[in-house]
Amino acid sequence: MTDLARTPLYDLHDELGAKMVPFAGYEMPVQYPMGVMGEHKHCRAQAGLFDVSHMGQVILRGADAGLALERLVPVNIVGLAEGRQRYGLFTNDAGGIEDDLMIANKGDHLFLVVNAARKAEDLSLLRAGLPGIEIEELTDRALLALQGPGAELALAGLVPDAVPMRFMDVIEAPLMGATAWISRSGYTGEDGFEISVPAHLAEGVARALLAHEAVAPIGLGARDSLRLEAGLCLYGNDIDATTTPVEAGLGWAIQKVRRTGGDRAGGFPGADTILQQLDNGTLRQRVGLLPEGRAPMRGGVALFEAEIGGEAIGHVTSGGFGPTVEAPVAMGYVPTAQATPGTQLYGEVRGKRLPVRVAALPFVEQNFKR
């Protein structure tokens, strides 16, 4: 792993006994001595601290930055209130998803968080698509995610102003001698916060949070099982350049003003395809899947209507064991005709077709503080 980058928390991960693996060009902790199952359950019951410093942090400055960004995303940025954040999608001319991201209005600029594996591509997309807008990639800040029902209490001792925040609020607050950028958001389905701090303070902030009795370090393994149970998409698995927002069940992220008949309808890549699908539906849909038995069905498993014969009608995009539901869970794409919860299908695992039922998402109730 000598060619991989390291986050500012690498030494702390090593000290805490993390097992490090390559991920999106970085050495990242996949688990700690507690193990993936224990970390998952701890986050659901108390609070978990995740290092997400590998994600891209980008600032857009310019009087019309919001309107300009709407040329690249099918999202209402102009109407995003100061101190609020919104989930967004970069789309391509075919209506596919180039990346998903978070967009915050911080008054005199927009703050974006993009996926680690897509940082370079997203920056190129922004620079080519937003002439006249100042685009700054931040390479001197770390990003921590504090997630779980105990997250508010754990952070309150360091940042009292975090307590009244609601889901998708964004603030700046003093933290250990610097200014932290804090959003009440995350990708576990639990209440929590994402905290951007200067890189040189990251370890001190992490240690201060871990000193709280409710907080434990959590690795990529549990991060994946938590977001899967919450029915949240992972870019490169559940969404990619070949899947549209509507197929992926992300139509809720496209506000009325950007839809057919809205004041700023269309104007983003793939608008014709995406708006048509919003109005008329799609041929396939992302669904939840509950395999019978105890064997998980992982990404790439082909899905069939019948136990014997016939062609594959869909495939699994993410799958594993759900520690909270105590059973295997998965997501995938199937034809709309087979997307009704309860529909019986079969997944082919090592040459054998095993029963799996379509299920409603999420598998675990989301506990965001609204």
Is the pLDDT score of 307 beyond 60? yes
Rounded percentage of the chain residues whose pLDDT exceeds 90: 98
Statement to judge: residues 144 and 220 lie in one domain: yes
Statement to judge: residues 217 and 329 lie in one domain: no
Statement to judge: residues 170 and 41 lie in one domain: yes
Judged by phi (left if over 0) then psi (alpha if -120 to 50, else beta), residue 346 lies in: beta
Which residues have C-beta within 8 Å of that of residue 177, sequence separation ≥ 6? 201
pLDDT band at 321 (very low <50, low <70, confident <90, very high): very high
Which runs of E-coded beta strand occur in the chain? Answer: 19-23, 26-31, 47-51, 56-61, 84-91, 97-105, 110-114, 134-138, 141-147, 170-175, 178-183, 192-198, 215-217, 284-291, 302-304, 314-322, 327-335, 344-349, 352-359
Statement to judge: residues 194 and 312 lie in one domain: no
Is the pLDDT score of 1 beyond 60? no
Q: Identify the domain boundary among 184, 210, 229.
A: 229
pLDDT at 138: 98
Q: Identify the domain boundary among 165, 195, 229.
A: 229
For the segment 37-56, what is each residue's pLDDT rounded down to a tens digit? 999 999 999 999 999 999 99
- Note down the domain range covering 167: 10-54+139-229
Statement to judge: residues 162 and 44 lie in one domain: yes
pLDDT at 87: 98
Is the pLDDT score of 242 beyond 60? yes
CATH number of the domain within which 33 lies: 3.30.1360.120
Statement to judge: residues 291 and 367 lie in one domain: yes
The answer as to whether 249 is a domain residue is no
The answer as to whether 246 is a domain residue is no
The answer as to whether 237 is a domain residue is no
The answer as to whether 102 is a domain residue is no
The answer as to whether 265 is a domain residue is no
2 vs 28: CA distance, rounded Å: 13
Contact 104, 85 (CB under 8 A): yes
pLDDT at 53: 98
The answer as to whether 203 is a domain residue is yes
The answer as to whether 131 is a domain residue is no
Contact 304, 353 (CB under 8 A): yes
Is the pLDDT score of 293 beyond 90? no
Is the pLDDT score of 237 beyond 70? yes
pLDDT at 133: 98
Q: Which of 1-5, 217-221, 317-321 has the weakest average pLDDT?
A: 1-5
What domain count does the chain have? Answer: 2
Q: How many residues does the chain have?
A: 370
Statement to judge: residues 151 and 50 lie in one domain: yes
The answer as to whether 4 is a domain residue is no
Parallel, antiparallel, or unpaired for β 26-31 and 192-198?
unpaired
For the segment 128-151, what is each residue's pLDDT rounded down to a tens digit? 999 999 999 999 999 999 999 999
Statement to judge: residues 222 and 300 lie in one domain: no
Residue for token pair 């871990």: 210
For the segment 337-356, what is each residue's pLDDT rounded down to a tens digit? 999 999 999 999 999 999 99
CATH number of the domain within which 312 lies: 2.40.30.110
DSSP conformation class of 5: B
CB neighbourhood size of 251 (10 A) = 16
Q: Identify the domain boundary among 186, 212, 229.
A: 229
pTM of the model: 0.96
Statement to judge: residues 35 and 172 lie in one domain: yes
pLDDT at 61: 98
